[in-house]
Amino acid sequence: MFILFDNGTPAPLRYALKGHVVVEAIERGWDRLVNGEWIAAAEAAGFEVLLTTDKNMRHQQDLTGRTIAFVVLGNQQWPVLRRYVERVAAAVSAATPGSYTEVEIPFE
Asked whether residue 35 is assigned to any structural domain, the reply reads yes
| Amino acid 35: pLDDT | 72
Tell me how many degrees the CA angle 85-59-108 measures, rounded to the nearest 5.
35
Give the pTM.
Answer: 0.93
| Cβ atoms of residues 65 and 21 within 8 Å | no
pLDDT, tens only, 2-51: 999 998 999 999 999 999 999 999 999 998 888 788 899 999 999 999 99
For residue 69, is it within any domain? yes
In a domain, 38, yes or no: yes
Total domain count, the chain? 1
Is residue 108 in some structural domain?
A: no
More confident of the two residues 44 and 57: 44
Distance, C-alpha 28 to centroid of its chain: 15
pLDDT of 32: 85
Assess if residue 33 is contained within a domain. Answer: yes
Where residue 61 falls among pLDDT bands split at 50, 70, 90?
confident
